[in-house]
Amino acid sequence: MSRIGQTFTALKAQNKKALIPFITAGDPGKGLTVPLMHALVESGADIIELGVPFSDPMADGPVIQRASERALANKVGLKDVLAMVAEFRKSNTTTPVVLMGYANPVEHMGYEAFARAASTAGVDGVLTVDIPPEESAGVADVFKAHGLDPIFLLSPTTPESRIEQVAAVAGGFIYYVSLKGVTGAANLDTEEVAQKLAMVRKHCSLPVGVGFGIRDGATAEAVARIADAVVVGSRIVGEIEAAPEGECAIRVKHLLADLRRGVDAASK
C-alpha cells in the first residue's frame, strides 16, 4: 500500500479525518519551502500538497497565480521541486507528498523520466490539473508503475457517468473541487457537496478530499464532517504572501492549528 493509502487507513482507525495543506514550492523563497513543509507537519498536516510553479496557471485564482509568479522569479522549476522533496525526506519518511501542477513541465521532462525521478525523490502522488482521464493514457499507468498515485479531480459539473471513468484510473484519493471556478473562490455550500459526495462514493472506493472555499476552523469542520480529507490552498498561500519577512512559518502554523482543531472537532 502506498504512503497515501497507509495514512488514510491509520487515520480511519483513529476515527480522524485528514488535513491536506497546499503551498507553492519556491514561495516565498527557494530555501523556505522545506522548513515550511516541516512546519506544516508539526502543526497537524497529514499529507502535503506541493504546487509546481507554472507560467500559465489557468485553473488558479489570483492568490496562487501570484505565488507561482514569485516562485518562477526565484527560478524554481520542476527539478528544484523534486530536490526539495528529497531534502524533506531526509528527516520525514512518513508524511505523504503530492505534487500538484500543470502538464507542460512534466511533459517537457518526459512522463517516464519524471515518474522515475519523482519516485526516487520520495513523491507519493501527482495531480496534473489539466490532464483529465481522457488524456491520461500513457501517464497514469506510468505513474502507477513507479509507485506514484495518479490523483484526479471531480467537480460539481462532473456528470455521474464520468465518475466511474475517473475512478477507473485514479489512485490515492479523489480530489473533489467543491466549487465551480478557480482556486480561492468563496461561498461553500456543504449540503450540495454532501449530495455529490454520496454519488462519488457509489462509484469509487478511494478516500475523497474536498477543496476550494475552506478558510478557517469552522469551514474545515463542516467539510470534515462529510469528506475524508480537507484540502486548503489559497488561504494558506495568502497567509504566506501577507506575512512579514521571517514570520511566514509562524503565521502558517497558527492558521494550520486552527484548521486542525476544526477537522478534529468533526470527529468528536
Q: How far is C-alpha 267 from the chain's CA centre?
A: 21
> Do you know the residue count of the chain?
268
Instruction: Pick the binder of other proteins from 42, 112, 134, 216 (CB under 8 A).
Output: 134
Residue 117 or 255 having the CB closest to other proteins: 117
Dihedral over alpha carbons 175, 180, 182, 187 (to 10 degrees): -100
Instruction: Give the nearer residue to other proteins in terms of CB position, either 39 or 76.
Output: 76
Segment interacting with other proteins (CB under 8 A) among 73-81, 188-196, 234-242, 260-268: 73-81
CB of 185 or CB of 194, closer to other proteins: 185
Element counts in the chain: helices (H) and strands (E): 12, 9
85 lies in the binding site for other proteins (CB under 8 A): no
What whole-number distance in Å separates Cα of residue 20 and Cα of residue 227? Answer: 12
Q: Which of 99, 118, 123, 129 binds other proteins (CB under 8 A)?
A: 129
What gap in Å lies between CA 143 and CA 150, rounded to an integer? 6
Instruction: Please give the DSSP secondary-structure letter assigned to residue 154.
Output: E
Of the candidates 103, 188, 199, 257, which one interacts with other proteins according to CB under 8 A?
103
Told to check if 77 binds other proteins by CB under 8 A, we report yes
Nearest residue (CB) to other proteins, 33 versus 65: 65
Q: Is 78 in the site for other proteins (CB under 8 A)?
A: yes
* Binding of residue 218 to other proteins (CB under 8 A): no
Q: Closer to other proteins by CB, 10 or 113: give it.
A: 113
With a CB cutoff of 8 Å and minimum separation 6, the contacts of 132 are 152
Q: Is 144 in the site for other proteins (CB under 8 A)?
A: no
CA distances from 19 to 22, 110, 157, 219, 233 (A): 10, 31, 25, 12, 11
Q: Count CA within 13 A, CB hemisphere, residue 174.
A: 27
Q: Using the rule CB under 8 A, which residue among 18, 63, 64, 106 binds other proteins?
A: 106
Going by C-alpha positions, the residue among 264, 214, 208, 219 that lies closest to residue 236 is 214
Regarding 197 and contact with other proteins (CB under 8 A), the answer is: no
107, 141, 189, 192: which one contacts other proteins (CB under 8 A)? 107
> Site residues (CB under 8 A) for other proteins?
53-62, 65, 69, 72, 77-79, 102-109, 129-132, 134-135, 152-159, 162, 166, 177, 180-182, 185
